[in-house]
Amino acid sequence: MHSARTFADQYRQTSASSAILEASPHQLVALMLGGARERVRLAIACLQRGDVARKAHAISSASGIIGGLNSTLDMKAGGEIAESLHALYDYFQQRLLEANANNDAAPLAEVDELLENIEQAWRAIDPEAPQLAGASQ
C-alpha cells in the first residue's frame, strides 16, 4: 500500500521532470540554481534535526548540481564572467565539504546566500522575460 508521502514524492518528481523537458537552456540553469539552493537548505534543516545521514545526502546532491553548473560554463565565450563563476563554484564545493566534514551550517548558509545572488542575477537576464517598453530607448 502506498502512503500519501509516496504519492507526493511521485508527483514532485513528475512535476520536476515536466519542467525540465519544457525548459529553455536559460531556464534549465535557473532550475539547477534553485535545485542546488533547495538541497543546501535541506542540509541545514537536517543538521538542525541531527539527521546527519540525510544532511550528507543533501550536500552530495547540491555538490553534484554545482558540478553540473560548472561544467556548463563556456570559458571561451563567457570570458571573465565564466572564469569568476568557475572560481565561485569551486569555492562552493570547498565550503560544502567543510560543512559536511564539520557538521557546520555556517558554510551552507554562505553557499545558499551566494547561490541566491547568482540565481537572482540569472533570472534578471532571462532572454524570454518581457522587456519594459522604454528600456531600449
Number of domains in the chain: 1
Nearest-CA neighbor of 60 among 112, 96, 6? 96
- What is the structure's pLDDT at 25? 83
Inside any domain, residue 42: yes
pLDDT tens-digit map of 68-127:
999 999 999 999 999 999 999 999 999 999 999 999 999 999 999 999 999 999 999 887
In this structure, what C-alpha cell is assigned to residue 48? 538542525
Is 63 a member of any domain? yes
Residue 54 within a domain = yes
Selection from 21, 3, 24 nearest residue 13 by Cα? 21
Mean pLDDT, the chain, integer: 87
Nearest-CA neighbor of 32 among 76, 78, 72?
Answer: 72
Question: Does some domain include residue 98?
Answer: yes
Note whether residue 51 is domain-resident: yes
Residue 133 lies in a domain: no
- 44 contacts 103 by C-beta, under 8 angstroms: no
Higher-pLDDT residue of 22 and 105 is: 105
Q: Domain holding 69: CATH number? A: 1.20.120.340
Q: Is residue 11 part of a domain?
A: no
Q: Tell whether the model's pLDDT for residue 9 goes beyond 60.
A: no
Percent of the chain's residues with pLDDT above 90 = 71
pLDDT reading at 11 higher than 80: no
Residue at 9 is within a domain: no
Domain that residue 57 falls in:
23-123
- Across the range 15-34, mean pLDDT stands at 77
For the question of whether the overall pTM of this predicted structure is more than 0.95, the answer is no
